[in-house]
Amino acid sequence: MRDVFTLITEQVLRDCGGEPICTHVGDVQVCAIKSHPTYQVLRERVRLGRSKSVASLHLWESVSTLARESDRHEQEGWLMILLDLLTPYFGGWSKDLAQKWRYDVSDIRSAMLEGALEAWFSMTGGTPSKKLLDTMMARAFNSARDLVKAGSSETCAASAEYLISDSKQEEYSTLHASSIIDAGTVRNPDTDERIRGERTGALLQRMGAMSHVKIYHEKLRSGCRNEADAPSITPAQAGRSWVDGKNLYYRISDLLPQYIGFSEAANAVGLSESQASRMARKGSLSFRVLWIGNSRVVSVKSLMHTLGIQDSIVHPDDVENGASHVGGE
């Protein structure tokens, strides 16, 4: 019988498509490690039971970070992988519990999944990965025990998808781009957008980075971008997109490297590497860590959030206008 564990595994295998998968930084193309296994091979190597390996714990930490801090449309996929890495350790125990209590094993597994998800959504982003793993497992086991001891085989008929459906709807909301506008500063959103872009261009010009930026702008204008990566635009921005014939808006973070070294990230928040390492072990570090082999990196977007740097949406025309003014053109 195909229960929720089977459905999760099938979904992950279908999404991964037999291609190499990067659980270090999420993108095979930018990862420093050049050899990546398929997900099926990777899953067979992971050991998260009582005999946890260091490599498996590092992988768990990276996947949990990707599930928290990836782009909104990618978070669900990493969360599914996170759950699928746990299911091998729930399988045998759920069968034993079903036989002992004469209960439907599929209902027990659904309860375990619900318990693991409740733990995931209740834990903060700064929770140490080892504690997150232990809590999700413990909550899964407790949910299964509570189910069978209740003496009823009635369980929720809704799919686990209801727990993450809201994030899918939010992805297509037009409020994301408009939420960055400070209406208290400039009453006209279109004017605020242009000023923001020109200030960004002026700063980049002073930094001597506009040559790199213009290369990126050319790629946007030539259509060398996956439209799924383009930020949503507001009705006010739609007019400019109609003139251009395409959505050329992008986020400031698109100009930056995707990841930064752990020591550099620590320095950026005023910590030494040893201080940041101790805080990471305690779960009190303000940004999350990704493992590439035995090395650590930090998502630039996560670091920007920690430092309070707004990941603004800008238009190439505005950025170039601002740079031109500073350059005296």
Distance from C-alpha of 172 to C-alpha of 152, rounded to nearest angstrom: 40
- Domain end point (choices 150, 171, 192): 171
Question: How much is the pLDDT for 155?
Answer: 46
Q: How many domains does the chain have?
A: 2
Q: Domain range spanning residue 183? A: 174-329
- The DSSP symbol for 231 reads P
> Is residue 155 domain-shared with residue 278, that is, in the same domain?
no
- Residue 220 and residue 162 in one domain: no
Looking at the structure, tell me whether residues 160 and 185 fall in a common domain.
no
**Cα 227–231–236 angle (5° rounding)?**
115
120 phi and psi angles, rounded to 5 deg: -60, -50
Confidence at residue 95, expressed as pLDDT on a 0 to 100 scale: 87
Specify the length of the chain in residues. Answer: 329
> Do 157 and 221 share a domain, yes or no?
no
Domain boundary among 109, 142, 171: 171
Statement to judge: residues 262 and 118 lie in one domain: no
Let me know whether 225 and 261 are in one domain.
yes
pLDDT in tens, 159-205: 444 433 444 444 443 333 333 334 344 456 677 788 888 888 888 88
Label residue 204 exposed, middle or buried (CB < 10 Å: 0-12, 13-18, 19+). buried
42, 23 contact by CB (below 8 A): yes
Q: Which of 114, 136, 171 is at the close of a domain?
A: 171
Do residues 47 and 131 share a domain?
A: yes
What pLDDT does 206 receive?
A: 86
Same domain (yes/no): 31, 120 = yes
Alpha-carbon span 84 to 154, nearest angstrom: 24
Residue 68 sits in the same domain as residue 119: yes
CA distances to 108, 178, 189, 206, 309 from 155, rounded to whole Å, are 9, 41, 49, 62, 45
> Are 165 and 253 within one domain?
no
Cα radius of gyration (the chain)? 23
In this prediction the pTM is 0.58
- Which positions of the chain have pLDDT values less than 50? 153-186
- Over the stretch 232-282, which tens digit does the pLDDT of each residue have? 777 767 767 666 667 888 889 899 888 899 999 998 888 889 999 988 888
**pLDDT score for 82:** 93
Same domain, 189 and 327: yes
Q: Are residues 260 and 152 in the same domain?
A: no
